Structure 1
Amino acid sequence: MALCEHLAALETLILAADYSCAECVALSDTWVHLRVCQSCGHVGCCDSSPNRHATKHFRATQHPVVLSAEPGEQWAWCYADNQLAEY
């Protein structure tokens, strides 16, 4: 299966500048895993986290691709096309 246009367009991966979800920190809440927006570098919590900030960021901005910020994980997810790519 070919990669969607959003995943295929990734050239340089944006890594997490800070290992925290700023929205969760502001709420004094916790997260499970973090995702990094590949359009702007926003770090948000995953859908297993109570607040799901990465998905909320996609809905607000339409930035389609996130990269896992978890050590040892090398994958990206395209929200727009519901497609996973491993790197």
Structure 2
Amino acid sequence: MTNSQIPGIDTTVAPSSEGCVDCLAGQGPGWWLHLRRCAACGHIGCCDSSPSQHASGHARKAGHPFLTSFEPGEDWFWNTDTEQFYDGPHLPSPQSRPLTQPSPGPAGKVPADWQRHLH
């Protein structure tokens, strides 16, 4: 499918942050495992394995079902409504978190027992 055939993907919107916007704003424990990008508005949120699951929460609240990975080397789209993967269009850069930012991240916020907190 091309992006003109996938309503809900905006190929002009840049990412909102280099990390989970909600975690960085103090919502939840403040760290994440992996990052996801809303394909409609660029909101960066944490993945469903992360303690706060902000990306899926944003998708539900905003009615923006398409998320894409914001991790280096990953290029996929996920529809939270249909639970299907898609090949999607190229979105504005950056395509992922900075390579200098660890996963889990951000540096200095991840507890030593972080694996215990994953979903």
Shift of 1:26: 1.8
My pick for the range that moved more, 72-81 or 27-36, is 27-36
Work out the CA distance in 2 between the residues paired with 1:34 and 1:15. Answer: 15
Shift of 1:12: 3.0
What residue ranges of structure 1 are gaps of 5+ in the alignment?
Answer: none
8 Å contact kept, 1:33–1:70: yes
Q: Deviations over 1:15-62 (max 9, x none)?
A: 535210111012261001111111111110000100000011011111
Shift of 1:86: 4.1
- Using a 3 Å threshold, how does the CA distance of structure 1 residues 70 and 15 change in structure 2: closer, same or farther? farther
| 1:67 aligned counterpart, secondary structure | strand
**Rg larger in 1 or in 2?**
2
Q: Which runs of 4+ in 1 moved over 6 A?
A: none
What is the TM-score when the length of structure 2 is the normalising length?
A: 0.60
Note the aligned Cα RMSD (angstroms).
Answer: 2.4
What is the TM-score when the length of structure 1 is the normalising length?
A: 0.79
Aligned to 1:66: 67
Shift of 1:69: 0.4
- Alignment length (residue pairs): 83
Matched, 1:82 2:69: no
Aligned to 1:55: 56
Structure with the higher fraction of residues in strand conformation: 1
- Using a 3 Å threshold, how does the CA distance of structure 1 residues 83 and 22 change in structure 2: closer, same or farther? same
My pick for the range that moved more, 25-34 or 55-64, is 25-34
> % of aligned pairs identical?
40
